Amino acid sequence: YVLADESFVSENNINQVGDTTIYVLSLEDAINISMDNNPQLNASIVKKQNNKAQLDAAKVTKAGYRDVKEIFVSTGYEVNYIKNGYYVHTYENAIKLSDYEYKQIEAQIAFNITEKYFNLKNSEKLLEIAKNSYELVKENYNATSLSYELGLVAKTDLDGANISLLQAEFALATYKDNYEIAKEDFKIALRKNNENCDFVLTSNLSVEDFKTNIDEDLITAENSRYDILSLKSNYELSKEYFELTKLPENTARYTSAYSNYITAEYNFTNNKALILLGVKADYNNIGSTRNNVTLTEQTLGLKKNAYKIAQIKYEQGMITNTELLSALNDVYTSEVEYENAKLKYN
């Protein structure tokens, strides 16, 4: 894998090493690449253009509703809906919603890239930890093997060192595979999966406290989230449609309109409450994951100190090699937990 401090890194963010293209990317760079000519965003633009065309057609139909009365009645449309502008309102709402939908797609793309960017960053770090651990365990095995040949340690110590070495080898192979999968996943997200390329990622996981005003953010969510506004629009249009359905109450058209209206009202009020509750839950999770970062960081410091003490004790013959390896494994485990805690917090 590629490290950020290697000599080929240059200011233009794209480098060539043999037949491999190296992209030096900050998180912002990666998000910009994913937004450029994005099929989802392009589809959203076309959808808005279609809604504008439909709105123009609806306005023409409304203006000349007397002339098309027979056509619309024969196809199941009521002139009352046309005359009162129901279809005009439908497409006006669709155009307004399309702007929020576009922003939501942008946010989803940015979130997706951020997640995959830091997954790759995390995989790279875990691979580095696994390599360091393997080298230390290998060094321990070689020293224990020599000590055993000199009759200084028991066979159980050598067997334990051998098992630890095998475990470190397996872990290293696993993290290598995980890194390659994370890299391929990131390539797909950037639509570069057909390129022979690698990445140097320059942005780091943040461990800064997350500061915000949840009450203000809930209001913002209610007034700007596409999912909430879409539910609200559907409810308002269903209500308008029902109120324009001037038919006897025992007809299928009337009961269907009423059913759609009360269903849309329930979906809007209930799902809005659930969405906003989910926002609150996410804020609570942020707090708990931040606390876990602090906890795992402190634990890592303790385990590193414990390993240093174990090394001294082992050199003085106070503990066995198995106990020393246990202390080393605790450091390795704590390093992994700390990196994963940072990833989850971000």
Q: How many CB atoms lie within 10 A of CB 273?
A: 10
- Would you give the DSSP letter of residue 193? T
CA distance 227 to 229: 6
Tokens of 207: 């461990």
Tokens of 8: 């080929």
Among 300, 346, 285, 283, which residue's Cα sits nearest to residue 119? Answer: 346
Burial 51-77 (b: 16+ CB within 10 A, else e): beebbeebeebbeebeeeeeeeeeeeb
pLDDT confidence of residue 101:
95
pLDDT at 246 exceeding the cut of 60? yes
201, β-bridge pairs: 25
Query: pLDDT tens digits, residue range 270-315?
Result: 999 999 999 999 888 888 898 999 999 999 999 999 999 999 999 9
Edge-to-edge order in the sheet of strand 197-201: 14-17, 20-25, 197-201
Query: pLDDT tens digits, residue range 212-239?
Result: 788 999 999 999 999 999 999 999 999 9
Which is it for strands 197-201 and 14-17: parallel, antiparallel or unpaired?
A: unpaired
CA distance 185 to 181: 6
**For 181, what's the count of Cα atoms within 13 Å in the CB-facing half-sphere?**
8
Stretch among 93-97, 164-168, 285-289 having the lowest mean pLDDT: 285-289
Among 36, 46, 41, 44, which residue's Cα sits nearest to residue 191? Answer: 36
What would you measure as the largest C-alpha separation in the chain, in angstroms? Answer: 107
Tokens 């996943």 -> residue = 185
Query: What's the rounded mean pLDDT across residues 239-259?
Result: 83
CA distance 204 to 148: 44
82 or 299, higher pLDDT: 299
Q: Please tell me the pTM assigned to this model.
A: 0.83
Tokens of 221: 């969510």
99: three-class secondary structure by DSSP: helix
Q: What angle do CA 234, 240, 243 make, to 5 degrees?
A: 140
Query: What's the rounded mean pLDDT across residues 155-181?
Result: 95
